[in-house]
């Protein structure tokens, strides 16, 4: 992280690099759900109105697909990490599905059935 960059700016950049458009309605909530955070908590972090605790850093790291030390360093809780951040992987259909309805298999299957009826989800997936 750039030493001049705030944690809020760093987090916004990291979330955006993973395919979440935070300018679109519901995207912030979708990422919060993927991270296991309350939407209000993520909103405060993105506005710079709160500093993350260690557990929140771990939750963010899991959702961002990086090591917790990267998030802790970006938050200023530990010295900077020499190891580079991993290149974000694009979100898969399944990632989007989990972001939409969570890990409930019945809800996921209902959405897949609907998307298949609309010819927006391939039969082989």
How would you classify residue 67: left for phi > 0, otherwise alpha for psi between -120 and 50, otherwise beta?
A: beta
Cα-Cα-Cα-Cα dihedral sign, residues 47, 54, 11, 42: negative
Q: What is the CA radius of gyration of the chain?
A: 16
The Cα–Cα gap between 102 and 28 comes to 14
What's the pTM value of the predicted model, to 2 decimals? 0.68
Q: What is the DSSP letter of 122?
A: -
Indicate whether 31 pLDDT > 90.
Answer: yes
Indicate whether 2 pLDDT > 60.
Answer: no
Contact in structure between 36 and 52 (CB atoms under 8 Å) = no
Tokens coding 52:
């993350």
Summarised one tens digit per residue, pLDDT across range 109-123 is: 999 998 889 888 888
Contact in structure between 10 and 73 (CB atoms under 8 Å) = no
């Amino acid at each position: 992280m750039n030493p001049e960059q705030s944690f809020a700016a760093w987090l916004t950049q990291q979330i955006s690099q993973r395919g979440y458009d935070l300018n679109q309605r519901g995207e912030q909530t979708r990422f919060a759900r993927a991270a296991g955070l309350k939407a209000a908590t993520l909103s405060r972090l993105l506005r710079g109105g709160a500093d993350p605790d260690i557990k929140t850093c771990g939750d963010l790291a899991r959702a961002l697909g990086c090591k917790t030390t990267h998030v802790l360093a970006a938050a200023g809780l530990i010295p900077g990490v020499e190891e580079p951040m991993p290149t974000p992987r694009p979100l898969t259909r399944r990632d989007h599905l989990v972001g939409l309805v969570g890990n409930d298999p019945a809800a996921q299957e209902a959405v897949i059935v609907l998307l298949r009826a609309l010819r927006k989800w391939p039969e082989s997936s």
